[in-house]
A and B are shown apart, each in its own frame.
Chain A
Amino acid sequence: MENVYLAIALAPLVGAILAGLFGRLIGRSGAHWVTILGVGLSFLLSLLVFKHHVIDGAGAFNGTVYTWMVSDGIRMEVGFLIDRLTILMMMVVSFVSLMVHIYTIGYMHDDPGYQRFFSYIALFTFSMLMLVMSNNFLQLFFGWEAVGLVSYLLIGFWYKRPSAIYANLKAFLVNRVGDFGFLLGIAAVAMYFDTLDYADVFAAAPSMVDATIEIFQGSPWSLMTVVCILLFIGAMGKSAQVPLHVWLPDSMEGPTPISALIHAATMVTAGIFMVARMSPLFELSDTALNVVMVIGAITALFMGFLGVVQNDIKRVIAYSTLSQLGYMTVALGASAYSAAIFHLMTHAFFKALLFLAAGSVIIAMHHEQDIRRMGGLKKYMPVTYWTSLVGSLALIGFPGLAGFFSKDTIIEAVHASSLAASGFAYFAVLSGVFVTALYSFRMFFLVFHTEERFDEHTRSHLHEPPAVVTVPLILLAIPSVVAGYWIDPVVFGDYFGGAIFFSDAHPVMEELTHEFHGAWSFVLHGLTGPAFWFAMAGLFTAWYVYTRQPDLANQARNRFAWLYRVLVDKYGFDRFNEVVFAGGARGVGWLLWKAGDVVLIDGLLVNGSARVVGWTAAVARHLQSGYLYHYAFGMILGLLAFLSWFIWWG
């Protein structure tokens, strides 16, 4: 199987290299064929791996590909850990990526950077696969940063647009802030565990529960807490948790297919996956879990609000992604790792679907993205309409669809959690359900229902995009409906086996498993729960306000103008960062350069000492006047001095 694992990772890389370096040679269709074949091969082989491990029951694989280097007794390697968590991620990543690849043929049809785009998205897939398949922290960091690099390239794909190259720099730097914490976390692991290998670290972790680290002299902190929080800072960057979420909405500057890729299958899921992978560490620190839960809860609720006031179709979905990532993070904090990964999976399907559907609308509307200038598209684009409806319903957790199972489990898990933060988190995720339904269906109704708000020219060209666009929509709609029924083995069964670890102190999933009696009764139980009614209330509100009483929204906006401003301003994060961090750094740099280098060091010390030398020489030169009587006078003075010295002290 080792060769199969290697092939899964490398096939997209080969495609990326061929399309990237020889794009002109192999032409447009050559580029999409090599990358699609590469990613398709990855997907098929992932299924084979699934069969081998899950159906045939082979044990987890943990092996080295090559040794990066050995330093100080620490073997740093590139290697694979293929367990059931990895396999699930591999299937999700390669499947969604394959859909995005096919879709791209249609979406980027007229773009001059066609080959380059395929090269990037295949490279993206490779990076993400390396990340999830890693068996050690080093390779995790490799994949981590590689994903950051490709997202940088993709967000700035249209490099002529000032907004795109602003957004990609911002995304990279914000992610680097997260990576900063992540790197320190890895350094802490390397120091205290003397290895970067997952298996060894996890095995040694329980014996480190009581270890402390003195970051500030005299106040010992729990080592596990410090390590977990540092690692989680990395996750906050990649998985866009408050306050490091600011890059994600701006990443909409890239072409739509990459939004689907970034938001659904790759990149943003990296943080969630990483925390789940590190469950043996996080389980040892309640403090860290509380932090995770609070950050997740804030993101889930407050980023959802922002979705309600956005008018750009892609940005609405972007804020929805932020909010849903918050849900996953909350689940991680509640020790419901399997629920988080399950939501990651269902979300990958319906969010990719929603993005690609949005892209379909955007193509049909000739790159119009403002939902205020859409409306009534239902009759022009039936496939897009129905698949969007499925995606939206799955997103809001309509009973029976994929999102319902995963989201309800998270809410139940938070409810069952006994951590200090769970009260706030429960409130946040529950009210978040209402908000999710509100923004999702606000967008849905404004795009597909209501009166048409575009000109005749646009109308005359409105039609359903070609099959390369609609087929991926349909293929993604299927798992958005049925993936939920996998809840039995994945969340409550023993699908993950040893891949995810629960401490006895956090028996959340165990409790839920006791109450679980099959998927259908879960659905029935959901109908009586508060989450369902919150969702319905949100859906109804959206329907009433945006289709029946359009004035209501305007009235509310005028009535709560201050609130509206705060939301449109995105709570001021962007402005704050722009002024304090970007402006501050430039100011500090300028000050250090001008005051430190130019004035103090160069002006005073370097050129100053040169001037002192010059000045001394100028003074000394006066002694060499060339007049005989000056020298004679000097001699007499000297003689006098010597004589007096002899007389007085001699």
Chain B
Amino acid sequence: MSDLPLLSLLIWIPILGGAGLLALRSLDCCNPRPLALAVAMVTFLLSLLLWTGFDTTTAAMQFQEQASWIRAFNVYYHLGVDGISMPLVILTTFTTVLVVLAGWEVIKDKPAQYMAAFLIMEGLMIGVFSALDAVLFYVFWEGMLIPMFLIIGIWGGPRRVYATIKFFLYTFLGSVFMLVALIYMYTQSGSFDILDFHALKLGMTEQVLIFLAFLLAFAVKVPMWPVHTWLPDAHVEAPTGGSVILAAIMLKIGGYGFLRFSLPITPDASSELDWLIILMSLVAVIYIGFVALVQGDMKKLIAYSSIAHMGFVTLGIFIVFRIMDNNAGGLQGAAMGLQGSVVQMVSHGFISGALFLCVGVLYDRMHSRQIADYGGVVNTMPVFGALMVFFAMGNSGLPGTSGFVGEFMVVLASFHADFWFAFLAATTLILGAAYSLWMVKRVVFGDVANEQVAKLSDINGREAMILGTLALAVLVLGLWPGPLVEVMRASIDNLLAHVAVSKL
């Protein structure tokens, strides 16, 4: 078992499975849905081996695979995961299963291609999380855009062309700068290995430039204010499955990038410019919280709420420098911030995914995302209503749901950095509840608003299973986050120890 190339399997089974679906389509022989589900399930089950076989005592990369790829430039096919990336890989495989199920009946147009796009994207995203070679990482990173581009562009809403172009240009603009930074570091170190980059000595100016290049790439992905405006448009136009993957996984890649690249490669620049990220994060929490409040489109509202929640991820990552300053180099409180931001990423994957699925359930029935078109949904869809209230509560960070854990940890940690950081971050308690529950009030509660709502039928078994699974995940992580925190402990401690040492 131990010599199974697990990560390669996780990357290539879905990609090849997706390609297979495309090939089978021309034969027109079989229903693509069960096949896609089988591939996604196999990938998910295999990914669980990562969890069971994971050694929590070490911060070293695990399940490593290395093979020479482009000899002339010292490029390797190098894979591996640590406690930070492993949970995100499992989040990816888990979410893909649900997304395949969610597209089961709704996608009538080109189902094989739709399923194939998601499977291929799954493989690419796992590649991003497990690549330890910068070129390999970059290939997966950019490759990931293509299926998403197609998903929004083909199965999207009426303004899908504007949204796809905006999405593509935005993210592409960010990533070319990252490519320059990666190549520069190659010229300095003679290697494309990310772990070599971690050890690479860099001067302050170099660090600042590299940091800014990375910032552009990752900030767009997260997305951080003020480079966030592609997200609401992309979400509104994307089909439900696309929104789920976008919110649950793709946004996490930005946060992951900060942890894997910015912090360890440019610790001094990160420390110098942390105020910028903290500012952007707090603006995201508050500014975007207010903006979310007034949205009339449910998907836009959840998209904005995603931005606000991702603000906690970046806040948790970049307060560590202030904490170290305050404690004269001591790390008390810093690990909690980093752990909190990873927990927040996983939790946001569940909750935002679930909320987008909820909107999808409504959209499939009424073909509207406007809050004003709904009202009193719980009268005709009681089971769905209960689930939606539950997820909205998770979105507003209710203790006992996963939404609470990350926010709680980040607020506690930011108190170590500065009272006002904690103060401003904690406003999410009020704002998050306000926009989530006000939406619930207008959509779910109340008397039946119109004839369409009166004709709604409650969720079927398939939908109930998808949402029920997510509800269970939200609850389990909320009631017992210990194991997740435990898995990442060694890696986080190692990262902190690394960051605490100046490269100058």
Q: Is A194 an interface residue (CB 8 A)?
A: yes
Interface of A is mostly: helix
Partner of A71, one of B292, B339, B398, B438: B339
CA–CA, A596 and B228, complex, Å:
11
**In the bound complex, do residue A145 and residue B398 qualify as a contact, i.e. CB atoms below 8 Å apart?**
yes
Quick check: B411 and A187 within 8 Å, CB to CB?
Answer: yes
Write out, one digit per residue, whether chain B residues 299-341 have a CB within 8 A of any chain A CB (1) or not (0). 0000000000000000000000000000000001111100110
Q: Residue A620 at the B interface, CB < 8 A?
A: no
Is B430 on the interface with A (CB-CB < 8 A)? Answer: yes
Q: A142-B400, A586-B293 are in contact. Are A180 and B480 (CB under 8 A)?
A: no
In the complex, what's the smallest C-beta–C-beta distance from B204 to chain A, in angstroms? 27
A154 to B396, CA, bound (A): 18
Measured CB to CB, the nearest residue on chain B to A194 is B332
The reply to whether the CB of B364 lies closer than 8 angstroms to some CB of chain A is: no
B295, B340, B433: which contacts A173 (Cβ < 8 A)?
B433
| B416 contacts across to A, CB distance below 8 A | 191
B217 CB to closest chain A CB, in angstroms?
A: 17
- Find the A residue at minimum CB distance from B393: A149
Cβ of A191 and Cβ of B412 under 8 Å apart? Answer: yes
Encode contact with A along B49-67: 1 for CB under 8 Å, 0 otherwise.
Answer: 0000000000000000000
Q: Is the CB of B293 within 8 A of A156?
A: no
Q: Provide the bound-state CA to CA distance between A237 and B413, in Å.
A: 24
Chain B residues with Cβ under 8 A from A166's Cβ?
441
CB distance from B332 to the nearest CB of A (A): 7
A444, B290: Cα distance in complex, Å: 47
CB pair B294 A590 closer than 8 Å:
yes
Q: B427 touching A191 by the CB < 8 A rule?
A: no
What residues on A are CB-neighbors of B336 within 8 Å? 71-72, 74
Q: Are B438 and A160 in contact (CB under 8 A)?
A: no
Q: For the side of the interface on B, what is the size category? A: 35 or more
Residue B158, interface by CB 8 Å: no
B426 A183 Cβ-Cβ under 8 A: yes
Query: What is the minimal beta-carbon distance from A70 to any residue of chain B, in angstroms?
Result: 7
A126 to B: closest C-beta gap in Å: 11
Partner of A597, one of B229, B393, B438: B229
Residue-wise interface mask of A (123-162) relative to B, using a CB-CB cutoff of 8 A (1 in contact, 0 not): 0000000000000000001101110010011001001101
Q: State in angstroms the CA–CA spacing of A153 and B429 once bound together.
A: 18
Interface check B399, CB cutoff 8 A:
yes
- The reply to whether B399 and A592 form a contact with Cβ atoms under 8 Å apart is no
Known: A72-B335, A173-B433, A180-B429. A160 touches B290 (CB 8 A): no
Q: How large is the interface on A (under 10, 10 to 19, 20 to 34, 35 or more residues)?
A: 35 or more
Is B104 at the interface (CB under 8 A from chain A)?
no
Residues of A within 8 A of B294 (CB): 586, 589-590, 593
For A188, list chain B residues within 8 Å (CB).
415
For B292, the chain A residues whose CB sits under 8 A away are 589
Number of A-B contacts (CB under 8 A): 140
CB of B379 within 8 A of CB of A169, answer no
Tell yes or no: B434 within 8 A of A by CB: yes
List the B side residues contacting A191 at CB < 8 Å: 333, 412, 415-416
Chain A nearest CB, measured from B396 CB (Å): 8
- Name the interface residues of B265-307: CB closer than 8 Å to any CB of A: 287, 290-295
CA distance A177 to B429 in the complex (A): 8
A173-B433, A180-B430, A191-B412 given; A156·B229 CB < 8 A: no
Query: Are A601 and B226 in contact, with the CB atoms below 8 A?
Result: yes
Q: Which of A567-608 contact B (CB under 8 A)?
A: 585-586, 588-590, 592-593, 596-597, 601-602, 605-606
State the CA gap A180–B414 with chains docked (Å).
14
User: Is A165 at the interface (CB under 8 A from chain B)?
Assistant: yes
Confirm or deny: B166 has a beta carbon within 8 angstroms of a beta carbon on chain A: yes
Is A67 close to B, CB under 8 A?
A: yes
Question: With the chains together, A5 CA to B239 CA distance in Å?
Answer: 49
Which residues of B359-406 have CB atoms within 8 Å of chain A's CB atoms?
376, 378-379, 389, 393, 396, 398-400, 404-405
Determine the distance from Cα of A188 to Cα of B414 in the docked complex, in whole angstroms: 10
Mark each residue of chain A from 373 to 417: 1 if its CB lies under 8 Å from any CB of chain B, else 0: 000000000000000000000000000000000000000000000
Known: A149-B398, A169-B437, A596-B291. A159 touches B429 (CB 8 A): no
Q: Tell me the bound Cα distance from A127 to B243 in angstroms.
A: 35
With A194-B332, A585-B290 already in contact, the answer to whether A160 and B379 are too (CB < 8 A) is yes
CA distance A188 to B333 in the complex (A): 12
Q: Is the pair A585, B445 in contact by a Cβ cutoff of 8 Å?
A: no
Q: Collect the chain B residues with CB atoms within 8 Å of residue A142's CB.
A: 399-400
Known: A66-B480, A69-B481, A160-B446. A184 touches B293 (CB 8 A): no
Q: Which residues does chain A contribute within 8 Å of B422, judged by CB atoms?
A: 184, 187
| Complex interface bits, B480-494 against A, C-beta within 8 A gives 1, otherwise 0 | 111001100000000
User: A180 contacts B482, CB within 8 Å?
Assistant: no
Residues of B within 8 A of A71 (CB): 335-336, 339-340, 409, 485
CA distance in complex: A156, B229 (Å): 35
Contact at A68–B480, with CB atoms within 8 Å? yes
B229 touches A165 (CB 8 A): no
B290 touches A606 (CB 8 A): no
A213 at interface by CB-CB < 8 Å: yes
Q: Is the C-beta of B419 less than 8 angstroms from some C-beta in chain A? A: yes
Q: Are B229 and A176 in contact (CB under 8 A)?
A: no
Cα-based distance from A256 to B379 in the complex (angstroms): 22
Name the distance in Å between A525's Cβ and chain B's nearest Cβ: 46
Identify which of A142, A166, A184, A188 gathers the most chain B CB atoms within 10 Å of its CB. Answer: A184
Closest to B444 in A: A159
Candidates A145, A172, A597, A602; contact of B399 at CB < 8 Å = A145
Residues 66-102 of chain A, each 1 if its beta carbon lies under 8 Å from chain B, else 0: 1111111110000000000000000000000000000
B423 within 8 A of A: yes
Asked if A283 is at the interface (CB within 8 A of a chain B CB), the reply is no
| Residues of B close to A173: CB separation below 8 A | 430, 433-434, 437
Q: Which residue of B lies closest to A177 (CB)?
A: B430
Contacts of B429 in A (CB 8 A): 176, 179-180, 183
A25 on the interface (CB 8 Å rule)? no
- A172–B415 touching, CB < 8 Å: no
Q: Which residue of B lies closest to A113 (CB)?
A: B382
A6 near B: Cβ within 8 Å?
no
Cross-chain contact B441 with A70 (CB below 8 angstroms): no
With the chains together, A603 CA to B294 CA distance in Å?
A: 19
A625 to B414, CA, bound (A): 61
| 5 shortest interchain CB distances as A-B pairs | A589-B290, A187-B415, A589-B294, A69-B482, A72-B336
A–B complex contacts, Cβ < 8 Å, 17 sampled: A66-B480, A68-B479, A68-B480, A72-B339, A142-B399, A145-B400, A145-B404, A165-B446, A173-B430, A179-B429, A180-B430, A184-B411, A184-B423, A190-B412, A191-B333, A593-B290, A601-B226
B residues with a Cβ closer than 8 A to A are 166, 169-170, 226, 229-230, 287, 290-295, 332-336, 339-340, 376, 378-379, 389, 393, 396, 398-400, 404-405, 408-409, 411-416, 419-420, 422-423, 426-427, 429-430, 433-434, 437-438, 441, 444-447, 479-482, 485-486
New A-B contacts (10) at CB < 8 Å, excluding given A215-B419, A593-B290: A70-B485, A71-B340, A72-B335, A142-B399, A144-B399, A176-B429, A176-B430, A187-B426, A191-B415, A605-B226
